[in-house]
Chain A
Amino acid sequence: MALIELQDVSKLYGFGDATTLALDEVNLTIEKGEFVAVMGPSGCGKSTLMNIIGLLDRPSHGKYRLQAKSVETLRPNQSAKLRRDTIGFIFQSYNLVPRLNVLDNVALPLMYKGVNVTNRIKQASAMLERVGIQEREYFMPNQLSGGQLQCAAIARALINNPKLIVADEPTGNLDSESSRLVMELLADIHKNGNTVIFVTHNPELTRYATRVVYMHDGSIIHDEKTVIGRVASTAKKVAEKSLTSDEEHLLAGVSTMMKTFPTKDSESKTKSRKKPLKGKKKS
């Protein structure tokens, strides 16, 4: 039984002429225990996909089954409980509650679960120790660095021991050292048998993944299994190609180059969708 099953999932934003097709009939199955990296140029629908998988948003069309249960039939309360107990969402912009200190932020999901104060504080403190910022537990979010904030956000995402971690560019605002720290944490979670999905623009980070999914204009154009510790071959290719053509692109990440992603000469695993790439805007 697959943990996540997307069947022809589309997402439309706006109305009429201003309609944007952010996801175009995406099919994706993720098994328990996978560590999936999602890559693709800016605006290709990665965040939209993450939000739908993380139950922050609903698909416009198509079926999404989480743990074999169809998401459309969930009542708001049930999806809230799934977000609380089953899914840990990590944002690029951390999204800690600014008025609460780090400890209270991390303990928040426990509060919504109904755990009593002493246990909440104990567990949150232990979780902060695990992500390495326990000594800052009484700091306010505005007193922390980006890396520390992301560690706190990860601690909050992990506090209810979720099966699934969804991270939308968790390292997007971090330097390489903090990025490594965050990825080590995710790898650790993965090692404990949990499923992790993350978005990145950095091919280097595909080293941590067991699978890399490439997107373009709302569709998945390539999907490959990789070996932990090695940069995914396609990502590498793209990165190397850019290195020779334009160094600036490397600095900016791969997003721009992904537009010139080769769909035809890709490996056997590529689920190449042979239809011509649509414009983002559907008229």
Chain B
Amino acid sequence: MNEYTRGNFKAGFKTLLSTKLRSFWTMLGIIIGVASVITVIGIGSGIKQQVSHQIQHLGRDVIVIRPGELHGSTGLDALSGLNVSGALSSKDVNVVKNVDGVSSVAPISISVAKITRDKIPYNNNLLIGTNGDLPGLLNQSIAYGSFFTYEDEGSKAAVLGDKVAKRIFDEELPLGRTFYYNGQEFIVRGILNEMNTTPLTEQADFNDAIFIQDQVAQELSKNTAPIYQILARPEDPKQYKAVAEKIQNSLYKSHGYQNNFKVITGGKDYDSNGTVLSLLTQMIAGVASISLLVGGVGIMNVMYVSVAERLHEIGIRRAIGATNKQIVSQFVTEASIISLVGGVLGVILAFFINILLRIFSDLKPVMSIELIVLAIFISIIIGIIFGSFPAIKAARKNPIDALRS
């Protein structure tokens, strides 16, 4: 840095300090521009992340086996969303488990049951029979305690959905507490985190469900708890289609060459999710460009005004012998300092807005490093261009014309 530039930097900061108010207004434009760009883009990518998270939740690599439409009472299906045709059984679970390349399998059987806790009856509880693979298949985390495993087979362990714990037990953490179902005592072994997705249908709220061993559920309901679906995951996601085909063949064989079941592979079903995501991506890009434009125009405006205001000063400086280059360089330095400081303050403001949004709304804006760097970078570029452009213009005038303004 040569003597002149160093002087410029000092002068730049001096300018900032000595004209606090105007610098503040100038900067405010940049701060708001940068903060709003970051916030808007952050909200957009936050929403996208949430949506794609929900889609991921059911895992794109999970194969779903459902009873065939043939055996379903379709009218009821449409209403309840639950297919209760009962074409799938625990036997099918074992068949799928033994298919080559399947790493985990979990049935989901559903019954609506009455339970009692401390002699108080609770009706209409969604009771889901499954096994220890379910959390892994749903990418579902456990808040407290643990899910049951294959070693617990036959035991009366229960895991509660997020809402059940609060609804039936008068505490948040009823670990180790008991309830009765069909005269059997169950011990609460774990509590799930809130599920963002409804793996089955809108109607079956997994957050309000009690999970028990499928085997136990079948026994206690005397095999009236239909298996609504079986989830399976291939060892190698790349073998997804091949494994699905193998499952199809094995079940076809074990069902006596009857096609009374459906193996649903992600492909078709999840396509719409991909479209949603790409639409979201496009929307975010659109909103981001508009907000960048608005922020940029704001910065531009503010820089332009501050230079126009200083035309007289440019005249003085030129009259006493500043070259055009020196004047432009002074303005570029000042503009970069103002837009850098404004950009950083804008990021800080965006950070606070982010926190407030997370506290007071369901939005979870994402502030990525790339976004922050980009916003600061753009604010500096725009600041420099529009800070120096009028200075360049002024530098072309006769000194006396600049002085007259």
B19 at the interface (CB under 8 A from A): yes
Q: Are B321 and A81 in contact, with the CB atoms below 8 A?
A: yes
B403 at the interface (CB under 8 A from A): yes
CA distance A217 to B370 in the complex (A): 66
Q: Are A56 and B398 in contact, with the CB atoms below 8 A?
A: yes
Residues 47-65 of A, flagged 1 when their CB comes within 8 A of B and 0 if not, give: 0000100111110000000
* Residue of A82, A91, A97 most packed against chain B (CB within 10 A): A97
Q: Are A112 and B398 in contact, with the CB atoms below 8 A?
A: no
Q: Are A77 and B324 in contact, with the CB atoms below 8 A?
A: yes
- Chain A residues, CB < 8 A from B19: 99
Task: Choose from A91, A97, A117, A160 the contact partner of B321 (Cβ within 8 Å).
Answer: A160
Q: Are A112 and B320 in contact, with the CB atoms below 8 A?
A: yes
Closest CB-CB distance, A35 to chain B, in whole Å?
22
A16 at the interface (CB under 8 A from B): no
Q: Are A112 and B322 in contact, with the CB atoms below 8 A?
A: yes
Q: A56-B400, A116-B3 are in contact. Are A156 and B320 (CB under 8 A)?
A: yes
A80 at the interface (CB under 8 A from B): yes
Residues 312-344 of B, flagged 1 when their CB comes within 8 A of A and 0 if not, give: 010111111111111000000000000000000
Chain A: CB-nearest residue to B324: A76
- Chain B residues, CB < 8 A from A160: 321
B399 at the interface (CB under 8 A from A): yes
Chain A: CB-nearest residue to B6: A117
CA distance A98 to B22 in the complex (A): 14
- A51-B400, A89-B320 given; name 14 further pairs at CB < 8 Å: A77-B323, A77-B325, A80-B322, A83-B318, A84-B321, A95-B319, A97-B313, A109-B320, A111-B4, A111-B7, A112-B317, A113-B321, A116-B3, A117-B7
Q: A99-B15, A116-B3, A117-B7 are in contact. Are A108 and B400 (CB under 8 A)?
A: no
A169 at the interface (CB under 8 A from B): no
- Chain B residues, CB < 8 A from A156: 320
Q: Are A108 and B319 in contact, with the CB atoms below 8 A?
A: no
What would be 21 A-B contacts, judged by CB atoms less than 8 Å apart? A54-B319, A56-B319, A56-B400, A77-B323, A77-B324, A77-B325, A80-B321, A83-B319, A84-B322, A89-B320, A97-B313, A98-B313, A99-B14, A99-B15, A99-B19, A99-B313, A100-B18, A104-B14, A108-B317, A112-B321, A114-B2
Q: Are A99 and B321 in contact, with the CB atoms below 8 A?
A: no
Interface size on A, residues (CB 8 A): 35
A24 at the interface (CB under 8 A from B): no
Chain A: CB-nearest residue to B310: A99
Q: Are A114 and B317 in contact, with the CB atoms below 8 A?
A: no
Q: Are A108 and B3 in contact, with the CB atoms below 8 A?
A: no
Closest CB-CB distance, A211 to chain B, in whole Å?
25
| 10 closest cross-chain pairs (CB), A and B | A84-B321, A56-B400, A83-B321, A80-B323, A56-B399, A57-B400, A112-B322, A95-B316, A99-B18, A109-B320
- Chain A residues, CB < 8 A from B399: 55-57, 83
Residues 1-31 of B, flagged 1 when their CB comes within 8 A of A and 0 if not, give: 0111011001000110011000000000000
A223 at the interface (CB under 8 A from B): no
A5 at the interface (CB under 8 A from B): no
- Chain B residues, CB < 8 A from A100: 14, 18
Chain A: CB-nearest residue to B10: A117
CA distance A234 to B223 in the complex (A): 129
CA distance A55 to B323 in the complex (A): 13
Closest CB-CB distance, B16 to chain A, in whole Å?
10
Task: Choose from B18, B320, B325 the contact partner of A108 (Cβ within 8 Å).
Answer: B320
